[in-house]
Amino acid sequence: MANNTELLKKALDAGEISLLEYMVEMGLYYDIINQVLGTERDFQKAFAELSAVEL
């Protein structure tokens, strides 16, 4: 995933995208990362609850 941010930085440095485009894309990227982490947290919580019932 770090490769995505590196590619965006390279595009910004090369003048292929504007600072505004860079900021928007980085914002979208981090929104997705937050969603993934939230989903993983929810999964782990549900798994822990199910495991506790089995004990």
Domain count for the chain, please give it: 1
| Residue 13 to residue 19: CA distance in whole angstroms | 9
For residue 52, give the amino acid letter.
A
Domain of 14 in residue numbering reads as 2-54
Chain mean pLDDT for the chain: 94
Q: How confident is the model over 1-27, as pLDDT tens digits?
A: 568 999 999 999 999 999 999 999 999
Q: ∠10-31-9 over CA atoms, to 5°?
A: 5
Residue 54: per-residue pLDDT: 75
Question: Above pLDDT 70, what percent of the chain?
Answer: 95
> pLDDT higher for 3 or 29?
29
Structure tokens given for 34: 């937050």
Rounded to the nearest 5°, which phi and psi values hold at 42?
A: -60, -40
| Residue 49 to residue 55: CA distance in whole angstroms | 10
